[in-house]
Amino acid sequence: MSHPSFESQLDAYLDGELAAVDARELEVHVAQCRECMEFRDRRLALRAAIKARVPTFQASDVLRARVRATVRKAPRVRPWRSLAIAASLAVVALGTWQLAARRSAGEALAGDVFTSHVRSLMPGGGGGAPHRRAVIGSAYREAMV
Amino acid sequence: MAAKSFSEGERLDSQEVERFETVVLPHLDAAYTLARYLMRNDHDAEDVVQDAYLRALKYFSGFRGEESSARAWVLAIVRNTAYTWRRQQHSDTLGTPFNEELHSDSVADEHPEAALLKQDAGESLTRALDQLPIEFREVIVLRELEGLSYKEISDVAGVPVGTVMSRLSRARQRLHEALCAAEEC
């Protein structure tokens, strides 16, 4: 048995970790190989010995209490904190909305000022849109000539 | 080791703390068993478990696994915490880093009291386990004592399944030799 990968395979087989196809193949081989059977028996004996003699441990009461205290002392999200966060978000949202509204009002005002300024520059000022387009159109044609 | 402070995003609500108590606390004995074999003494093992549970609590909101995977999840945290502690403890006296080829065929930590071990086969097996390199020791504990699957061990130890298999096999070979030495098989 100087074949580490085969030993690993046999361990995996005993651990129930081999795929069914590989497991059957291995069983067939082991049944015909005395050395493999001995190896398998040694491993089974080792497993039994570990199970019987190597202890698991129990956490002491002191440790258990310490860990529970850690969990109890864990910082939590406090309900008032959630409310405070929600409230501050609402304030921010309201502020943003007001700002946006104010800005659009400001832009509308600036637009009106600009329009009336343009109109005042036009011959006969204060004319309607069709008239403005005609003036601009004639100016454009003059420039292209 | 100083307790980690929780940042705002790591705070848990009361429901999550309750879930932590239901899902993670029941694995305290498993956590302590792993820590005990990795640290090899009660005092350090308790400190490691305490620290690991604090970390687990801190990262619990990120744990999205099923309840059945909580055991491997908490053992991974215990394992990493133990490694961190060991690194800090041995930072002055670091030996050669673990090398699978180098360590696998030599008998590590051969004890002058080996003859004494023959008196008690049970104790000798436990001692042989304690004397294995930590990378071999952890796979034995995770498989034989904690009953984790190869895939779970691979996740906990952060190595491929193939490496888990070869480490398990070599570790078992060592333990078998120790058992034979004690019982003269």
Closest-approach residue (CA) in chain A for B41: A57
Mean pLDDT of chain A: 75
Distance, in angstroms, between B75 CA and closest chain A CA?
A: 14
Q: Taking CB atoms and an 8 Å limit, are A70 and B57 in contact across chains? A: yes
A40 close contact with B: CB closer than 8 A: no
Question: What are the chain A neighbours of B38 within 8 Å (beta carbons)?
Answer: none
Average pLDDT over residues B87-94: 73
| pLDDT at residue A32, as a whole number | 95
Q: How many CA atoms lie within 13 A of B18 on its CB side?
A: 3
Asked if the model's pLDDT at residue A13 lies above 90, the reply is yes
A-B C-beta contacts closer than 8 Å: 108
**Nearest by CB to B168, which of A11, A54, A60?**
A11
Question: What are the chain A neighbours of B126 within 8 Å (beta carbons)?
Answer: 53-55
φ/ψ of residue B105, rounded to 5: -105, -10
| pLDDT at residue B141, as a whole number | 98
Instruction: Look at B2 and B44; give whichever has higher pLDDT.
Output: B44
Nearest-angstrom CA–CA distance, A115 and A106: 14
Q: In this predicted model, what pLDDT tens digit does every residue of B127-167 receive, in sequence order?
A: 999 999 999 999 999 999 999 999 999 999 999 999 999 99
Asked if the model's pLDDT at residue B113 lies above 50, the reply is no
| pLDDT at residue A104, as a whole number | 65
Q: How many CB atoms lie within 10 A of CB B131?
A: 18
Q: How many CB atoms lie within 10 A of CB A70?
A: 16
Q: What is the pTM of this model?
A: 0.70
> What confidence category does residue A126 fall into, taking pLDDT thresholds of 50, 70 and 90?
very low
Do residues A27 and A33 lie in contact, with contact meaning Cβ atoms separated by under 8 Å?
no
Q: In this predicted model, what pLDDT tens digit does every residue of A21-41 receive, in sequence order?
A: 999 999 999 999 999 999 999
Closest-approach residue (CA) in chain B for A18: B150
Instruction: Look at B73 and A99; give whichever has higher pLDDT.
Output: B73
DSSP chain B: -PPPPPPGGG-B-HHHHHHHHHHTGGGHHHHHHHHHHHH-SHHHHHHHHHHHHHHHHHHGGG--S-GGGHHHHHHHHHHHHHHHHHHHHTSSS--PPP-HHHHHSS-TT--TTHHHHTT-HHHHHHHHHHHS-HHHHHHHIIIIIT---HHHHHHHHTS-HHHHHHHHHHHHHHHHHHHHHHHT-
| pLDDT at residue B115, as a whole number | 44
| pLDDT at residue B110, as a whole number | 42
